[in-house]
Amino acid sequence: MVNEMIFTFKGKNIIPTKQALNELSNINLNLSEIPKILENGFSIRKRKKNIIEKGIIKKTKIINVVIVDMGNYFKLIHVGKFTLTKKFKKNGS
């Protein structure tokens, strides 16, 4: 049996999609960092009511995560990294 670590945000478990796990791996990020980004990050763009997108600045990149509120848990649907632009410099670091 695999011993999975459970990560939460606002009292709900965060369940990643297979695609999100691949994206985490591609940018060398650990699932344990997702709650920290959601709690401490800034809003990237306006999304639908049940979707949250937050980001943090790491050096010259922005790491962003997107979760969907499924009611009793959050589904992690995207993790990405993009270059910091002037638009976002006012938000962080």
CA dist list (Å): 9 to 14, 38, 41, 49 = 7, 7, 13, 17
Is pTM, for the whole model, over 0.75?
Answer: yes
- Give the model's pLDDT for residue 6: 83
Q: Is residue 1 part of a domain?
A: no
**Rounded to an integer, what is the distance from CA 34 to the centroid of its chain?**
5
**How many domains does the chain divide into?**
1
Q: Is residue 77 part of a domain?
A: yes
Would you say residue 13 has pLDDT above 90?
Answer: yes
The string of pLDDT tens digits covering residues 27-56 is 999 999 999 999 999 999 888 999 999 999
| Backbone dihedral angles phi then psi of residue 9, each to the nearest 5 degrees | -145, 130
What is the extent of the structural domain holding 29?
8-89
Q: Is residue 2 part of a domain?
A: no
Residues 6+ apart with CB under 8 A from 75: 15, 16, 17, 67, 68
Residue 60 Rama label (left phi>0; alpha psi -120 to 50; beta): alpha
